[in-house]
Structure 1
Amino acid sequence: MPAADQALRQRPTRARLAVLALVTAATVLNYLDRSVMSVAARPMSAELHISPAMLGIIFSAFSWTYAAAQIPGGLLLDRLGTRITYACSLTLWSAFTLLHGFAGSIGTLIGLRFGLGLAEAPCYPCNSRILASWFPQGERARATGVYSIGQYFGLAFLSPLLFWIVGNWGWRSLFLLVGAIGIAFGLAWYGVYRDPLQSTRVNQAELAHIAAGGGLNAKPAPSFSWGRMLRLLGKRQILGASLGQFCSNSALVFLITWFPTYLSTERHLDFVKSGFFVALPYVAASAGVLSGGLVSDWLVRRTGSASIGRKGPVVAGLLLISTILSLGFIRDNMVLIAVMSVAAFGQGICNLGWTLISDVAPEGEIGLTSGLFNLCTNIAGIVTPMVIGFVVQASGSFHGALAYIGSVALLGVASYLFVIGDVHRLPAEG
């Protein structure tokens, strides 16, 4: 029986959902490894005599190499494929996390943050490639929403436990535990993951469903050139999406670096209460990720317009982030957490930027486009922690830092409204 006829008669498998579960677990570890330092920051700073400005530099160090390695990471993905690239990245970044537990100086910490950023660089280009290969366009936003919950899951649902571990066993134990779990998962990834056409768990009916929606992109990657990279950045869709994601990512960086310190120092919450209150905005961000994906896919189906479906929810999310501007005027901690949760909900919605970039990336250049996109957006990881650290040290307050985060969100709104233009697959060029 021809493959086409067989696909029509078969009941489609749902192997792509198991793949999505793998990606989600990997993303949980990705963000947990980069953000556990925010939980350890207060006792670590006291033991190693780290000032606010220096803590900002240490937080930022991760993103120096993470951003710089996005283009090489995307190229590595295009050459080696998802299975090998992701497995190596997972195992290596987890090893760097584990080594944080043995750090005895500021210089060692900065060096380990450099290594962590370098090792994590291929992760999101891999995620984008996996979704473009395994999911039809009409399901990608929801799939992005599911795995993006991993950005917040560790701190959303584990913060009280993480703070308890630090309080009882010390900050070093946190890095040792999380790193060991990640190394084990990296080895498991290599054993389990396969691309759609190599998978034994997917049948012809599911492959046909994926292909009908624009998945199974197997076009060979073009050779790299600086001209090709500049050409991609010259496309308004890629430039506008990158600027918008930089703006929303600034809020995420604040959440996973300085927010616990803000609560414990400026808002005077004790260690246990800090762990509880830190969790609430991350839960809200998780809800924002899911809601954004569902609404986006519904809008695409309802209107037939990727521009409306992808851009509209992100603009709304950036506007919600801008409510951070009010935090400096709020005295009640419960009201503050409520407003921060609204802003975090908006930040979760903005993860749709990854769906948008997978929709516009030229065929055969998803790895390079995603790497370029992540390079631009993660400049926020370099800038934001240092801006906050220097502002806090100079002023003794977080007021100026909060104003910076809210204002940058409004810049993102302008980028989505006036720069991106129409959302469609850009033509590949030789």
Structure 2
Amino acid sequence: MSLREENPDQASLADAPALVADESGAPSTRSAAKPTGVRWKLFILLLVLVTVNYVDRGSISVALPIIQKEFALSPELVGLLLSAFFWTYALMQVPVGWLIDRFGPRKVVTASCVGWGAATAASGMAGGFLSMFIARAAIGVTEAGVMPAGGKLNALWMHSKERGRGATILDAGAPLGAGVGGILITWLIAATGGWRMSFVIAGIATVALGALIWWYVRDNPRDHRAVNAAEAEYIEASHAAEDAEAAAAGSTSKRGLLPYLKFRSFWAMCFGWLGFNGVFYGLLTWGPLYLAQAKHFNLSSIGWSTFVIFGAGFVGEILGGTLADRLRARGHGANLVMRSLLGVSSLIVAGGLVGVTVVGDPLTAVALLSVVLFFLRWVGLFWAVPATLGGRTNAGVLGGAMNLSGNIAGFVTPIAVGLIVGATGGYTWALLYFVGSAIITGISVLTLDYSRRLPV
């Protein structure tokens, strides 16, 4: 899916088979074969990668009722510990975006896997608050490149009409990992007799995944041995149309971040992602403890409830991306599609969170949170926005800037919720904090212009 308004002539160019002159001088099709689907296989692998990413980063939340007792942590210290990951993760976003644009996503993602796997295993050996805080901060540093690299690969590998699905397949690993992690980590804790070995096993599996990423992922479709000429030409035709439009607008060169700061759409992208993550990271980090303390769930019930809630987010994200691409394929403009879908999702998220504050039944609360995650994850479409605003050349640095803003919410939210819970002794005002974040997202998604590249 392209998040710009396509010129009909350019759209037809993108869909047409590439032509060259034969020996007689007449044009002929370079490749009459059906395009291979390697780009979709690559994004399924990225879905697995992001799923493991969120299993690892969310593992502490699932084990938190045990860790809190073992380390004797107050709610304020719990909030600080949960924020450790996000401080370093946020600070690394713009630098790692530059590294992705400079060295390519394949190298950055592979290094991330090895580094965060080692840090996850090390967190299983923590002896107290300080060592766990350091390990979680190290996970933040090493995981920082995954999502911006995925955004860059979306720009490099996907046809403009497919980027909605590409973005949501990539980002759907977040709720899937949170949901699967809830069951997986609770099972590992039970199977190994404690939370420590479960973290070590998760870390080793992540390092192995890094080797698979290096073997399969390429920065250019033509460099992948399984990509046939027809698939490469299909992708390149879309890129050529985008580049022609960018050239006409004088926007083809590699830029730093500063030229984008003057545009409303850049800030709408950043604030939209900030509000989104204010809700998502709040539920990811504090959700299991909320279920344990406010709804009195045991560890097994927490695992299954987390799976249901975040599993609904996974389903919602995949359906949201498919719906967006289908609406674009029917000729609806990018602004109409994105503002309608994301505006409705923000409204439902805010209303669902208000509902959670007033219901007393635990199963009803889980059902409402499942609805919230289903619609919240439609905002995963935002991972197509960096390529829209900055093109393939600058998608890495813009993706890093977007993720930086989102992870400001990541380190602020756990601390804020800890202070709220410590001061009020309950979760009502914490849930209303999430409502405020959803409102920020709603305003931002209606402000952003999804139809054109920024003229820098």
Does 2:265 match 1:242? no
Q: Decide which moves more: 147-156 or 16-25.
A: 147-156
Shift of 1:420: 1.6
> In structure 1, what is the Cα distance between the partners aligned to 2:203 and 2:274?
28
What are the ranges of 5 or more consecutive residues in structure 2 without an aligned counterpart? 1-18, 22-26
Shift of 1:274: 1.6
Shift of 1:216: 11
Q: Which residue of 2 aligns with 1:115?
A: 138
Q: Which residue of 2 aligns with 1:212?
A: 237
Q: Which residue of 2 aligns with 1:156?
A: 179
Shift of 1:310: 2.4
Shift of 1:158: 4.7
Identity %: 29
> In structure 2, what is the Cα distance between the partners aligned to 1:413 and 1:187?
40
- Cα contact 2:353–2:368 (8 A) shared by 1: yes
Q: 2:167 aligns with which of 144, 166, 171?
A: 144
> In structure 1, what is the Cα distance between the partners aligned to 2:253 and 2:404?
19
Q: Which residue of 1 aligns with 2:211?
A: 187
> In structure 2, what is the Cα distance between the partners aligned to 1:28 and 1:216?
33
Q: 1:320 aligns with which of 337, 348, 359?
A: 348
> In structure 2, what is the Cα distance between the partners aligned to 1:150 and 1:401?
25
1:301 to 1:217, Cα distance in 2 relative to 1, 3 A: closer
Aligned length: 424
1:347-398 CA-partner distances (Å, limit 9, x unpaired): 1111111123322224511111111111111111011111111111111101
1:29 to 1:2, Cα distance in 2 relative to 1, 3 A: same
Q: Which residue of 1 aligns with 2:383?
A: 354
Shift of 1:217: 8.8
Q: 1:292 aligns with which of 311, 315, 320?
A: 320
Shift of 1:415: 1.9
Q: 1:343 aligns with which of 351, 372, 375?
A: 372
Q: Map 1:358-369; keep pairs closer than 5 Å.
A: 358-369=387-398
Shift of 1:2: 5.0
The aligned amino acid for 2:203 is G
> In structure 1, what is the Cα distance between the partners aligned to 2:371 and 2:353?
9
- Cα contact 1:6–1:205 (8 A) shared by 2: no
TM-score with structure 1 length normalisation? Answer: 0.93
Does 2:34 match 1:22? no
Shift of 1:167: 3.6
Shift of 1:222: 6.2
- Cα contact 1:98–1:179 (8 A) shared by 2: yes
Does 2:222 match 1:197? yes
> In structure 1, what is the Cα distance between the partners aligned to 2:275 and 2:184?
30
The aligned amino acid for 1:179 is G
- Cα contact 2:112–2:143 (8 A) shared by 1: yes
The aligned amino acid for 1:183 is V
Larger Rg over CA atoms: 2
What are the ranges of 5 or more consecutive residues in structure 1 without an aligned counterpart? none
- Cα contact 1:149–1:290 (8 A) shared by 2: yes
Q: 2:62 aligns with which of 28, 39, 42?
A: 39
Q: 1:389 aligns with which of 418, 430, 436?
A: 418
> In structure 2, what is the Cα distance between the partners aligned to 1:152 and 1:202?
30
1:318 to 1:361, Cα distance in 2 relative to 1, 3 A: same
Shift of 1:155: 3.1
1:217 to 1:40, Cα distance in 2 relative to 1, 3 A: farther
- Cα contact 1:134–1:216 (8 A) shared by 2: no
Q: 2:195 aligns with which of 145, 156, 171?
A: 171
